[in-house]
Structure 1
Amino acid sequence: MGVSAKYKVILVDDEPMILRSLQAAIDWEGLGLEVAGTARNGEGALKLISEHSPDVVISDIRMPGMDGIALMKEVLTGNPKRVFIVISGYGEFEYAREALRQGAFDYMLKPIDHDELTGMLQRAAAHLDAQTENDKLLHSVHVLSVMARERMFSEWIEGNDRPLRYMQWMENSELEQEYFMAVVQLDHFLRLNEQWLMDEKRLWLFAIRNILEEWSLQHGGLTVFPFHSGEWIILLPKNLQPEKAKLGNDLIYQIKRYSKLSCSVGISRSSKGIGQLSMAYQSATRALYQRFYSEQEGVFIDQGDMGKEVQSAEMKYPKHLEAALMESVRTLDSQRMATLFDELKLYIEQHAFAKEAAERLLVEIAVVLYRHLEYANLLAEWPLDGLIQDLHEAGNLNELIGMLKRAFARQMNESLRSQVKEDGHSLIEKAKVYITNHYHKDLSMEEVAEVVDLSISHFCTLFKQMSGYTFLEYLTQCRMEKAKYILKHTSVKVYQIAPLVGYQDAKYFTQVFKKATGRTPSEFREETG
């Protein structure tokens, strides 16, 4: 064993000289051991053991108060894997035999032979090493077993049983009885997944799994494991069926309480046997379709109404609504457009579109309206891919419709304003005048864009096109020209000029001036004075 990986040792004897002798005569470091403390009686030893949690205890049998055997029983009850070595006198052999029966690792007689004790400690360290390796092996076997079992369940859920038939020895008999499935699905997972760094994602998913595993253990769950990204599966016994809604709401509460994340829970109909895992999953996810029509997280239970299947493949495309929306866009009637989007929402709800089908329909209509605006030359700076990405990230139908209303209303209102605006050249001239009159203030591009009633992106592009400068370049040039005039025609000190031309920090003003002119303010004054 390496010297750096030490096992801790506690020495217990009522004779101080023996304790000092043991500490000095044994090469503890060479054995990979460390004396964590010494005690002169059983009570003191228990206190040390509580503080240091040693791996080895070496104790005399005969001590005042609690003797060595009583101490050993207490110590091994707390941790049976500890090594306990007893020391006894020649007349106390029966005590030593009793200690061995009670679980002592070994014993030795006084006077202590240090070589003999060293050999005993070497065996003790080897014993502890073996225990550690066994524990690691058992842990690895357990982890592999859990992973393989989860993989097996996942394969069965996806309807693929043949590749894993050789693993059915791992199937527990709990699925031979009736059970039901809860699918826990994080809300807005796509958005969260983009925000989280890789390490953050691992931490969040690990935390949620711990929450669900503890919850499952407390409520008698059969198993719990992650399935798709942002989705976990819990199998629950049939006897908990009357409490489905209560259990689902508690799951939502626990995840929100400990992770501050929202989720929804879909709960399946009753199933039996591992072969019905796939049907149970379909049942639970079918229940989760209802989340698309809900404005907040919730518990959605498949009640077994098989007559009302999702019919989205047979639904007719609402051409009448598309045509009416295109007309509202053409006439820039945002109020009419909002009403038509509400009608489209009602149409989707009445026909029970699945989320994917409804999303596909809305994206198609959004593209048609976008192209209509584009052909009419009514678009400001608005990338289509950004709109589609936002639609994909929406969690429910209400969010989707709201996004479309806001996005198209914004563009239509922008187009209306642009029809009565001045041309680009006069707008930029107006901006330049405003900059000339306000250069000495803490002037921002947002403020100037608002003055000329343009979006920031549109103003930025137009200003560069019309003036040949970026906003910051033009503002800096204006400030430098004013600074040069003051330096040339007045005796105002340099540090006093800075706030007069919009800089609160005189040192920074000097840096900007030198970069713009190649000279410091003082050098400029000397050369032009």
Structure 2
Amino acid sequence: MLKVIIADDEYLVCQFLKKIIDWKRMKLECAGEASNGIEAFRLIQQLSPDIVIADVRMPGLSGLELIEKCGQAEIDCSFIIISGYPDFEYVKTAFTRGAINYILKPIDELELENTLLKVCRSIEERQDGGQWARQLEEQQESQIHTINYAKQDILCRLITENENALSLDKINRLYGCCFNEEAAFNVAVSNLSILDEGREMNTISVNVYARIEEQFRQHIMPLCCECQAVVGQEQLLFLLNYEPAVEHQVEAEINHVIEKLQRNMELMSARITIGLGSGRGKDYPQLYREAIHALGCRYVDNRCVIVDGEISYIKFNVYEILNLEWENHYLNLIDVGNENELKQLLENIQQEISKKGHVDPNIYLQAFKICTSLFQQEAKRLFHEVFDERKYSRMIDDACVHSRSIPDLYGKLVKITMEIYHECIGKVELKERWPVIKAKQYVEEHYAEKIVLKDLANELFVNADYFSSVFKKDVGIGFNDYLRQYRMAIAQQLIRSGEYSLDQVAEKVGYLDPKHFSKSFKKTLGVSPAEYKKFYRQ
């Protein structure tokens, strides 16, 4: 029997958990209860439980602090966090510290049971001391991963690229699927938008997509001949295969599942949307394109599930607005980095499109993508290798995924465009300043030696005239004047120290001829080295 401790400051929650868990069937034992974090930690130390179900917020120690404290004490137990707070930072911290799952209140009994089963299997596997059995399991697991990867790859290409190398019959035989070619097909594509766009929001995305897949497996699959989840780029796809008679029931159940998940996501400022193809025909890529088109309508349609073709929209050629004159104006604004006018121009695009009436939201998206493509071309021309095309594409993809409305999407376009523009300008300026920076470093390290501008330029692999020009432009004076002033500043310090004769000072700052040193010193400071020394001796 595996031991479980329940920690929650709400008595009724503890009793509810004790009631809904099938302790005998799952071979679990409720070893103890705690109403606060400190009491929970003492129980953990005394009873060495295998599993701890803890509330995220408790007096004394929070659930997250409890995980951390057990980690510091090197106590090995699995944590399941329950919470009424779907805050992104809580979720992120819980998973970062090693929680198995973060379950939101009201607690879904099935989700809790599945999580406990997963933990139990994991613990049993760790406790199994048979070397042969472990090797066999690892071998089987490796084979399963290989098969799953191959199946994912085949299905992804089947859906998105019309890859017909394998028939459905062969896919059924190779990967244990149950596709029925006589039944109906459809494709569902999910999108998760999160307002809190932190660098580590992948943590919550992975968790939510896992929940979506689990809910489809539990509620949609029983209605279908087959329901296969496929992980695409920033997307979770489903290839659905069902009898035509249950089409509306499948759509209704998908709605129910996503609405239920969405209710748990609202306080987290996250939104789940599913785009569904029309369900007509067996051209999988066409169904995929329809699902993507439906998903593009989410910027104006707030429903959780959008079926392509359900609403009639006006369509027109966006190049009627984004003509050659507009393109030249847009590129000119990019060239000069005029943020205010660029923002106004993009607002004008939205207004011009909206004047056409009840327009297909994907036309706004098409115009958005035209703008991004033009910026990429112009940035490559202006900034060459300093333009980070990958970074720009990633930021644009994130904007498409996480924007909630058309103005939000276009606002992000302005922000990203100007951020990348100024970043490129900075890199170009840094590139031009690089010889100046290196020259200053060289002077600092070698001022006591002979330094000739032409020789230094050769050291830096730049033309002497170019180097002289960029140095004066950046510093405000020529290189030789800078070198002289730097040496004289060091000379002043040495003279004031009183440790050296004037001839020694001259030598230490790179002058072999004391007369030349004296002349340079007077040119810089208006007094001779001797007069300067006398002044500081008084």
With the shorter chain as reference, the TM-score category is: 0.3 to 0.5
Instruction: Compare CA radii of gyration and give the structure with the larger one.
Output: 1
TM-score, with length taken from structure 1: 0.41
